[in-house]
A = this chain, B = another copy of it.
Amino acid sequence: MAETTATAEHLALLLTESGMQRMAARALCALLYAEQETMTAGELGERLSASAGAVSGALKTLVTLNLVERVPAPGSRREHYRMRADGWAVMTGGNNRLIDAMVRSAEEGITAVGEDSIAGRRLAEMRDFYAYIQREIPALIERWHQQRRVR
């Protein structure tokens, strides 16, 4: 087995550059590349050379985002964590909160300036686009799950 840590960290860097918090990205990638079903917070800390506090914060974020889940405890020790199988779908579809906000923000802007102004037309375009995406993304993800079930 090659040095997977470097590969994992490389992906983490990519996610960080796309806006994810650094430690959250590192923890997610460590879970992704782990040759175990689950990891404890302590194991993650060791693997990442990070303090317990940093790991705790990162896991909280990841669990909130539904990218990682607490596992009830397979053996019987403390909390175990694993990346959710549908994590990537959640991450992509989960932008819904952002998209909703974009639609609302555009509407708010239109209310302020009127639809028949220069800015109003731009804002209407923005609203229409995000409303379209808002409609289509769930269907896209659904098709993915369907396709996946077939195999």
Chain A residues near B (Cβ < 8 Å): 1-4, 7-8, 10-11, 14, 18-20, 32-37, 83, 85, 88-89, 92, 98, 101-102, 105, 108-109, 111-113, 117-119, 122-123, 125-126, 128-130, 132-133, 136, 140, 143-144, 147-148
Contact = CB atoms under 8 A, between A and B. Distances in A.
A123 B35 contact: no
Nearest to A16: B19
Contact of A32 (B83, B98, B119, B132): B119
Contact of A102 (B14, B35, B132, B147): B14
A2 B112 contact: yes
Contacts of A140: 133, 136, 140
Contacts of A88: 125-126, 129-130
